[in-house]
């Protein structure tokens, strides 16, 4: 749809056009999803009047909802695009609520009406029920053939209001994105809410109180277009030679040093990471390179949080916070592709809250299983719960419900949106959703179920710390906090999985799962053995016995001093225990 709008407004030539023009990352094209929101300016003339439209193409997946919230804060209207073949998805509803909270003008659009499987009448009814609009308000378009796109453009011009702002007031510009350019430093993208910004002026970033000169400003087309001034309501970029990633914060306000604004614009809410994992360099000497790579990546992905940590098994690295498992996968992949960093990722987990017996009101945050206080002094451990909304076809209600109950979910409500589509609301622990929930949900519903979640608070649970011991040594990167009912099963599966993945050595390797001092599961990787009796043909049995005893003593000594290298695939094995 974005491609067609760019074509109709002649923003890009046919030569520059390719499928998913705005998705300029290799990963986005390979997976067919939008990961980064992308801003672009379009110009259009209607009835002799010239209009400037600033479009932000945002992701749809629940893991990138922070990108959407940032974009919405800088917009006046939103296109709610619904697939005519798939109808309304759970994340469509959550993004719609975000837009309504920000008082945006909503234009409902029915896309992919050219598909043979499209069902425009039924889906239009769904949209009317959701928005409370008239059926005539729902525009029918096709992003493939371009049908209805011109009508959509005219509706945008008529319905979405122009930005309100005071051109005479002191400059206030809201930063909604930034990107790292290795040659020119950090480029910040902003929307001018009040006042104007000129090239060469000295500006101040209000959150950090840092001052810079606006070396270059301009608007965002497919390529950046330099301009001498950016006025109220316009969207642009600023390059001022900023080298340090920490100095540009998304949601910050830019103002002028000579005529500063009294207060900053209300920025966006602080991001709340859902999933935590350790990221470590394969070679410990690459620690500083990894730090600068993560800082640069964070500029482009403000929902990533990180802090330094160390591990006995892996050395120095970072504890990173992500919005979900897909987000973690994408960050790991981008570090490898864009920054050539080979990293090891530990088992992802969520953040818990522990309360001690001696002071039951004092909360101890637990971001890592190794931080869990001694169980003998624990009063309780609370884990984060989420409100999960699942929309699926009515024929898959049974399997979806079984999956959610297996994951300790409690059904809150169930209502039929249409005759064939059901919305189910579950209250469930975030830790259960982190690993394989989304993949399994898609497979049991043949890809039809959509899933969205929001945090719903903390709840006390019976959790135990399961340690994995390899050759008698605890591997802290494989430890996990697990509900007591699932501990034995998961411990056993982890041992079985590791037995397949760890290469055989010259000595027996025991793999054990333990809760405290109690071993709950064990697997053994058998040693590679040389046939030391091969040279004995006939003769006394004591000769063979002597050779075997010698070998046995050697193996025993080797096991005491031998170290087992755990491959990267073993750290990720825990995620795929159901395969």
Rounded to the nearest angstrom, the gap between the alpha carbon of residue 506 and the centroid of all alpha carbons in its chain is: 41
CB 176 within 8 A of CB 169: no
CB 291 within 8 A of CB 245: no
Rounded to the nearest angstrom, the gap between the alpha carbon of residue 97 and the centroid of all alpha carbons in its chain is: 20
The pair of structure tokens assigned to 261 is 């604004």
Which residues fall within 8 angstroms of residue 171, CB to CB, at 6 or more apart? Answer: 192, 194, 195, 196, 197, 203, 254, 255, 256, 259, 261
Give the integer Cα–Cα distance in Å for 511 and 521: 8
Q: How many C-beta atoms surround the C-beta of residue 161 within 10 A?
A: 9
Can you tell me whether residue 147 is helix, strand or coil? coil
CB 468 within 8 A of CB 495: yes
Annotated binding site: 111-114
Q: How many C-beta atoms surround the C-beta of residue 273 within 10 A?
A: 20
Which of 125, 60, 61, 87 is closest to 393 using CA atoms? 87
Give the integer Cα–Cα distance in Å for 496 and 483: 20
Can you tell me whether residue 82 is helix, strand or coil? strand
Q: With 0-12 CB in 10 A as exposed, 13-18 as middle and 19+ as buried, what is 284?
A: exposed
Can you tell me whether residue 439 is helix, strand or coil? helix
CB 366 within 8 A of CB 353: yes
Which of 451, 440, 24, 424 is closest to 223 using CA atoms? 24
Give the integer Cα–Cα distance in Å for 480 and 496: 16
Can you tell me whether residue 506 is helix, strand or coil? coil
**Which letter does DSSP use for residue 524 in this model?**
E
Give the integer Cα–Cα distance in Å for 108 and 545: 83
Give the integer Cα–Cα distance in Å for 74 and 464: 45
Can you tell me whether residue 433 is helix, strand or coil? helix
Give the integer Cα–Cα distance in Å for 364 and 397: 39
Give the integer Cα–Cα distance in Å for 97 and 92: 9
CB 407 within 8 A of CB 437: yes
The pair of structure tokens assigned to 481 is 């906090």
Burial 41-65 (b: 16+ CB within 10 A, else e): bbebeeeeeeeebbbbbbbbbbbbb
Annotated binding site for GTP: 111-114
- Tell me the sheet residues that pair with 423: 391, 415
């Amino acid at each position: 749809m974005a491609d067609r709008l760019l074509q109709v407004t002649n923003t890009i030539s046919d030569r520059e056009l390719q499928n998913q023009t705005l998705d300029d990352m290799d990963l986005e094209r390979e997976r067919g999803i939008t990961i980064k929101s992308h801003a672009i300016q379009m110009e259009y003339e209607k009835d002799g009047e010239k209009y400037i439209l600033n479009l932000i193409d945002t992701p749809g997946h629940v893991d990138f909802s922070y990108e959407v919230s940032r974009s919405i804060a800088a917009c006046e209207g939103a296109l709610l695009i619904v697939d005519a073949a798939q109808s309304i998805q759970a994340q469509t509803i959550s993004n719609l609520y975000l837009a309504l909270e920000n008082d945006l003008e909503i234009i409902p659009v029915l896309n992919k009406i050219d598909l043979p499987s499209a069902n425009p009448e039924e889906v239009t009814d769904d949209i009317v029920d959701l928005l409370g609009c008239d059926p005539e308000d729902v525009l029918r378009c096709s992003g493939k053939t371009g049908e209805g796109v011109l009508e959509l453009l005219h509706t945008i011009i008529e319905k979405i209001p122009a930005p309100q702002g005071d051109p005479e007031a002191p400059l206030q510009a809201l930063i909604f994105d930034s990107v790292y350019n290795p040659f020119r430093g950090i480029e910040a993208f902003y929307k001018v809410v009040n006042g104007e910004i000129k090239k060469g002026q000295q500006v101040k970033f209000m959150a950090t109180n840092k001052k810079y000169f606006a070396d270059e400003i301009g608007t965002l087309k497919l390529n950046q277009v330099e301009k001498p001034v950016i006025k109220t309501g316009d969207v642009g970029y600023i390059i001022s030679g900023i080298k340090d990633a920490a100095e540009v914060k998304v949601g910050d306000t830019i103002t002028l040093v000579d005529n500063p604004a009294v207060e900053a614009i209300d920025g966006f809410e602080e991001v709340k990471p859902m999933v935590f994992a350790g990221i470590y360099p394969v070679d410990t000497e690459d620690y500083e390179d990894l730090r600068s790579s993560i800082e640069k990546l964070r500029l482009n992905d403000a929902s990533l949080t990180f802090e330094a940590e160390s591990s006995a098994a892996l050395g120095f690295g970072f504890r990173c916070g992500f919005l979900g498992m897909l987000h973690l996968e994408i960050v790991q992949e981008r570090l490898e592709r864009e920054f050539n960093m080979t990293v090891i990722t530990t088992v992802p987990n969520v953040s818990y809250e522990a309360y001690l017996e001696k002071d039951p009101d004092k909360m101890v945050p637990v971001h890592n299983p190794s931080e869990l206080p001694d169980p003998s002094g624990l009063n309780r451990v609370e884990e984060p719960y989420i409100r999960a909304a699942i929309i699926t076809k009515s024929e898959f209600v049974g399997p979806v419900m079984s999956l959610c109950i297996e994951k300790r979910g409690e059904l809150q409500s169930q209502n039929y949106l249409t005759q064939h589509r059901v919305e189910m609301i579950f209250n469930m622990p975030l830790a259960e959703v982190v690993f394989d929930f989304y993949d399994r949900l898609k497979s049991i519903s043949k890809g039809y179920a959509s899933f969205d979640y929001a945090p719903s608070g903390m709840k006390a649970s019976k959790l135990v710390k399961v340690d994995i011991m390899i050759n008698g040594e605890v591997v802290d990167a494989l430890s996990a906090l697990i509900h007591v009912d699932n501990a034995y099963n998961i411990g056993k599966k982890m041992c079985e999985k590791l037995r397949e993945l760890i290469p055989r050595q010259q000595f027996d390797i025991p793999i054990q799962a333990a809760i405290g001092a109690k071993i709950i599961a064990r697997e053994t990787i058998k040693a590679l053995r040389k046939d030391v009796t091969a040279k004995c043909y006939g003769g006394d049995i004591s000769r063979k016995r002597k050779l075997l005893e010698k070998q046995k003593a050697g193996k025993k000594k080797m096991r005491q001093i031998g170290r087992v290298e755990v491959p990267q695939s073993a750290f990720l094995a825990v995620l795929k225990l159901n395969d």
